[in-house]
Amino acid sequence: MHVIDGKKLADDIIAEVALDVKQLVELGKAAPGLAVVLVGEDPASAIYVRNKIKRAQQAGMKSIEKRLPVDCSQSELEAVVEELNQRHDVHGILVQLPLPKHLSEERIIRLIAPHKDVDGFHPENVGLLATGQASLIPCTPLGCLEMLKRELGDLSGKHAVIVGRSNIVGKPMANLLLQANCTITVVHSRTSNASSLARQADILVAAVGVPELIDETWVKPGAVVIDVGINAIERDSKRKLVGDVNYEKVAPYTRAITPVPGGVGPMTIACLMKNTLVAAQHTAH
């Protein structure tokens, strides 16, 4: 059993991106600019934003941070996004989700210019991914794919089971693995026999948001398990982060597994930098 070190892989990707950024700048182009918009003071979101800005700087990118109060109006937030859409020094725009309840995430996602949508959530980018065309791909599934390719090489013919069907992870993951010539099964809350379907997987991707749902009865011996879940739970009066996979029970059966934390999380941010570089390379400024 091999533990996939997401932090080390993410460091490798950031180093690769930094080299490409350096070459871009040497050609007289502007360094890629990533704008991060944070509404309110949610502590988890603030940590994510801080990590994204730190990684952008490590990759030699310019980072722009926009903070808005928790009670800002939809039109105030939209005005900030519109301004960033127009700026030539901004190649990627990321609005940190979730937004406060009174704001429409859907409207904001649609408002971001598709060529600056480094989260890959705009319907145009979703459509391009679904039809197998080049696009800005959601960062978490892209990070998972990167891990699988580095772990297994060619994924052709592998049976991949994805637990969860969210727009952010489950659906794009299915599209990416389909393009990598895997056979795909998506299981979700309405699936009957979810665990027996999961047991057929060469690749099992857990992205369902239920702490430690997946135990050894879900896993075929020798499978590669990618745990996207990150859930805060109380255990022994301590706050602990766990995945959607019961790591202790599942790990011994696997060929390779990602830990939580230190698995998929760092890869998501590394792939955000990769997307920002792609967005910059596609613009002439």
- The binding site for NADP(+) consists of 164-166, 230
To the query of whether residue 20 is one of the catalytic residues in this protein, the response is: no
State the Rg of the chain over Cα.
Answer: 19
Cα dihedral angle (207, 4, 136, 70), rounded to 10 degrees? 60
Strand partners, 227: 206
Cα dihedral angle (235, 237, 239, 242), rounded to 10 degrees? 0
To the query of whether residue 96 is one of the catalytic residues in this protein, the response is: yes
User: What secondary structure, in 3-state letters, does 112-144 show?
Assistant: CCHHHECCCCCHHHHHHHHCCCCCCCCHHHHHH
What gap in Å lies between CA 16 and CA 37, rounded to an integer?
Answer: 26
Active-site hit among 62, 96, 117, 227: 96
Active-site hit among 62, 116, 117, 119: 119
Closest CA to 168 of 112, 111, 105: 105
To the query of whether residue 52 is one of the catalytic residues in this protein, the response is: yes
Closest CA to 119 of 143, 100, 93, 146: 93
Strand partners, 66: 37
Q: What are the catalytic residues? A: 52, 96, 119
